[in-house]
Amino acid sequence: MAEKLAADERNRQHNSPEAVAARLAATRGRSVAIDAAKIRSRNEATELVRQEQAAKRRGDAPRALPVSLADALAKGVPPTRWIVEGLLKGDSTCLLSGPFKAGKSAVTASLVRSLVDGDPYLGHFPVIPTAGNVMVVDTEQGMGELLEVYGSQKIRNMHRVHLVSTDGLASDWDLSLDENMDAAVSMCQANGVTVLVFDPLSPLFVAMGLDENDSSAQAPLVRFSELKRRAGLDAVVISHHSGYGGGGRARGSSSLPGWAAALWNITRDGDKLDSVRSFDAYGRGINVPPGVLSLGLDGRLQFVPASEAAQARRLSNEELKDVAHRMWIERYVAAEPGHAASFYAAKLGGGTADRGVQVPIEAGGATLVNVTKNGIETTVATMLVDGELINKGSEKRRELFVVPHEQRLVSDPIARPSNTQPNPFTTPAERDEISPDLTPNSAPFNTDQLFATPGMN
């Protein structure tokens, strides 16, 4: 009986609220200790992976160490190395922004052509041709559209341009993923790329699930800087949309323009697609005031500084055309005298003569004008009447020679085009009538008309 009472007492004490609470506390303590150990282990593993990834991204690059300002200045300030003079420095980054359908793709395509061919960018900015190749990653256009855009540029060194269409595959360029970063580095190095053009940025934000209005939107751009370093690129140029209206700054977070060393802007005078486009640039050591973007008579984009644009509006297409043909004829007749007009006109078809003539304007610049076969025949007759040419043969077998300027009886129209026309620019229909040899895509537009480039974004 005593044993039974003792057992009951033990059970009562074991199951008492105090005993149960004590046991629960002990169990909870062990569980917490186990969970805490797991969390610490997970945090340690996360930090280890972070360090490994950081080391991988850094690669063989040494850590940046402090240097004395006095020692650095004693070695001298290195001269600025330009890729595009006044616009893009070597070993730098650039962000191009512009409204929808304002010509960002056309502007970037013009840049690519200048980088590989060495032609002045937009017909205005001197270029130091890149030693390597240029790769264009396009996130909106298919390969067909890309070929249309870049084919129209008439690039001479086409083998130095590599096109990557990622339409619908922008996530391949989420460089926060190691496999994508490694693939991008390998792609650039395998193709000898020194300049990367990424056009445009918005689809990448969508693919990465980022809000471009949040400061975290700068993260992809930081990864492009990492790619530039790891792949040994000389420059990365990225395009991005500006907000509604005429443009002026990149759309989204203010952290985006903070990434780039150079900021290029396309602005539009109003919301209409045929509004005048302007281009300006600023950044670290860069300050290019707004100028007009227009299509030259060679079908390529040109930048006309504001002062020259104002003067150019005073010159009619007819005047420019007349002066260009006179300059062209005088040059080739002086070089090979004694032939008929058809001989010189045939040079255009045979590809032994340049079509383009740089016609000076009073602002001190020049504009490129194309000559045509019909224009040569017509202008030769006019120059004979004006005393600029002389025929030493017969009417049936002409032998043309240039009359020296000092022997001419009339004022020389080549010296400077006049400014008498009140309405200097023609409509597209009038333009085609004036120059039937020009196709619509390569026909001249002026600064007051929309420049039209296939696939223009």
Three-state SS annotation for 282-333: EECCEEEEEEEEEECCCCCEEEEEHHHHHHHCCCCHHHHHHHHHHHHHHHHH
Name residue, tokens 């512009």.
98
What's phi and psi for 361, nearest 5 deg? -125, 165
Could you tell me the CA-to-CA distances from 447 to 19, 102, 303 in Å, in that order?
92, 14, 10
Q: 194: helix, coil or strand? A: strand
How high is the pLDDT of residue 273? 67
What's phi and psi for 418, nearest 5 deg? -80, 170
Indicate the range of 5-9, 87-91, 285-289, 442-446 predicted with least confidence.
Answer: 442-446
- How crowded is residue 180: how many other Cβ atoms within 10 Å of its Cβ? 16
**What CA–CA distance (Å, rounded) separates 408 from 403?**
7
pLDDT at position 91 over 50: yes
> Could you report the per-residue pLDDT of 1-14, keeping only the tens digit for each?
777 777 777 777 77
Predicted TM-score (pTM) of the model is 0.59
Tokens of 418: 């006049």
Asked whether the beta carbons of 121 and 264 are under 8 A apart, the reply is no
> Could you report the per-residue pLDDT of 366-412, keeping only the tens digit for each?
677 888 888 999 999 999 998 999 999 998 899 999 999 878 764 44
pLDDT at position 435 over 50: no
- How crowded is residue 70: how many other Cβ atoms within 10 Å of its Cβ? 7
In this prediction, what percent of the chain has a pLDDT beyond 90?
44
**What CA–CA distance (Å, rounded) separates 252 from 240?**
10
Q: Side-chain half-sphere of 73: how many Cα atoms within 13 Å?
A: 3
β-partners of residue 95 are 238, 263
DSSP H or E run through 432: helix 428-434
> Could you report the per-residue pLDDT of 304-351, keeping only the tens digit for each?
887 666 555 555 677 888 888 999 999 999 999 999 999 988 887 666
**What CA–CA distance (Å, rounded) separates 96 from 256?**
11
> At what angle are helices 104-117 and 143-151 packed, to 10 degrees?
60
How high is the pLDDT of residue 24? 74
DSSP H or E run through 199: strand 193-199
